[in-house]
Amino acid sequence: MSIYVESVLTFTSITCITVCGLYILTGLTGMFSLGQASFMALGAYAAAVLGKLYHWPFIPCLLVGIILSVVTGFLSGYPIMRLRKEYLTLITLCYGEAIIALLNQSNITGGALGMSDIPKHTTLIIAILFLIFGIYFAWCFRHSKFGRMAIAIKSDELASKSMGINMAAVKMRSFLCAAGLAGLAGGLYAFYLQYVDPSLFGWRKSGEWVAWVFFGGVNSLTGSIVATFGLSALSQFFSRFADYQVLIYSAMVLLVLNFKPNGVFGYWELSDLFNTRDRRMQRLLKEAQTREGALKHEQT
Amino acid sequence: MSRLELKHVYLSFGGVKAVQDFSMQAEEGQIIGIIGPNGAGKTTIFNVISGIYTADSGQIFLDGEEITQLAQHRIALKGISRTFQNIRLFHGLNCLENVQTTLDASSKYNLLDAILMTPRRRKEEKRTRQRALSELEWVGLGEYVLENPENLSYGLQRKLEIARALAADPKVLLLDEPAAGLNPKEVQELMKLILRIRDERGITILLIEHRLELVMTVSERIYVQDFGETIAIGTPAEVQNNPEVIKAYLGEEE
- Could you report the predicted ipTM of this complex, rounded to two decimals? 0.93
Rounded mean pLDDT, B223-249: 90
Instruction: Kindly provide the residue ranges of all beta strands, DSSP E only, lying in A66-185, ordered along the sequence.
Output: 115-116
Q: Where is average pLDDT lowest: B60-74, B134-148, B237-251? A: B237-251
For CA atoms B162, B165, B170, B173, give the dihedral sign. negative
Relative to beta strand B65-66, strand B57-62 is: antiparallel
SS3 B22: strand
Radius of gyration of chain B (CA): 19
SS3 A35: coil
In 3D space, the residue among A221, A249, A213 whose CA is nearest the CA of residue A233 turns out to be A249
Q: In the prediction, which pLDDT does B251 show?
A: 72
For residue A193, the surrounding DSSP H or E stretch is helix A167-193
* CB neighbourhood size of B130 (10 A): 17
Q: In the prediction, which pLDDT does A252 show?
A: 83
User: For residue range B188-202, what is the model confidence (pLDDT) as tens digits?
Assistant: 999 999 999 999 999
Q: In the prediction, which pLDDT does A298 show?
A: 46
DSSP β-bridge partners for residue B174? B82, B206
Are A164 and B107 inside 8 Å of each other by CB? no
Are A165 and B73 inside 8 Å of each other by CB? yes
SS3 A267: coil
- Which residues have CB under 8 Å from B96's CB, separation 6+? A284, B129, B132, B133, B136, B145, B146
Burial class of A3 by CB neighbour count within 10 A (0 to 12, 13 to 18, 19+): exposed
SS3 B55: coil
Rounded mean pLDDT, B25-38: 93
Q: In the prediction, which pLDDT does B34 show?
A: 96
SS3 B23: strand
User: For residue range A19-77, what is the model confidence (pLDDT) as tens digits?
Assistant: 999 999 999 999 989 999 999 999 999 999 999 999 999 999 999 999 999 999 999 88
Q: In the prediction, which pLDDT does A19 show?
A: 96
**Alpha helical stretches, state H, A49-123:** 58-77, 85-105
User: For residue range B80-110, what is the model confidence (pLDDT) as tens digits?
Assistant: 999 999 999 999 999 999 999 999 999 999 9
Q: Which residues does chain A have with pLDDT short of 50?
A: 296-300
Among B78, B97, B99, B111, which would you mutate to test the A interface (most chain A Cβ atoms within 10 Å of its Cβ)? B111
- Which residues have CB under 8 Å from A56's CB, separation 6+? A50, A64
d(CA B92, CA A154): 9
Are B115 and A137 inside 8 Å of each other by CB? yes
Q: At what angle do helices A167-193 and A3-22 cross, to 10 degrees?
A: 170
d(CA A299, CA B213): 42
d(CA B38, CA B219): 20
- Among A137, A141, A219, select the one facing B92 at the smallest CB separation: A219
Q: Which residue has the higher pLDDT, A149 or B251?
A: A149
For A157-179, letters b (16+ CB in 10 Å) and e give: bebbbbbbbbbbebbbbbbbbbb
Q: At what angle do helices B154-166 and B95-104 cross, to 10 degrees?
A: 20
Q: At what angle do helices A145-155 and B119-139 cross, to 10 degrees?
A: 50
Q: In the prediction, which pLDDT does A233 show?
A: 78
Question: How many H helices and E strands in chain B?
Answer: 10, 10
Interface of A with B in 124-143 (CB under 8 A): 136-137, 140-141
A6, A10, A13, A19 alpha-carbon torsion, rounded to 10°: -130
Length of chain A: 300
Interface of A with B in 187-246 (CB under 8 A): 219
For residue B119, the surrounding DSSP H or E stretch is helix B119-139
Please answer whether residues A21 and A182 qualify as being in contact, where contact means their C-beta atoms are separated by less than 8 angstroms: yes
Relative to beta strand B172-176, strand B229-234 is: unpaired
Q: In what order do the strands lie in the sheet with B221-226?
A: B80-82, B172-176, B204-208, B31-35, B221-226, B229-234
User: For residue range B201-215, what is the model confidence (pLDDT) as tens digits?
Assistant: 999 999 999 888 899
Q: Provide residues of B within 8 Å CB-CB of chain A.
A: 50-52, 71-73, 76-77, 81-82, 84, 88-93, 96-97, 100-102, 104-107, 109, 111, 114-115, 117, 121, 124-126, 128-130, 133-134, 145-146, 164-165, 168
d(CA A212, CA A108): 34
Residue B67 CA, distance from chain mean position: 17
Please answer whether residues A160 and A167 qualify as being in contact, where contact means their C-beta atoms are separated by less than 8 angstroms: yes
How does residue B253 score in pLDDT terms, banded at 50, 70 and 90?
Answer: low
d(CA B73, CA B56): 20
For B161-174, letters b (16+ CB in 10 Å) and e give: bbbbbbbbebbbbb
d(CA A217, CA A222): 8
Name chain A contacts of B109, Cβ cutoff 8 Å: 144-145
Relative to beta strand B80-82, strand B172-176 is: parallel
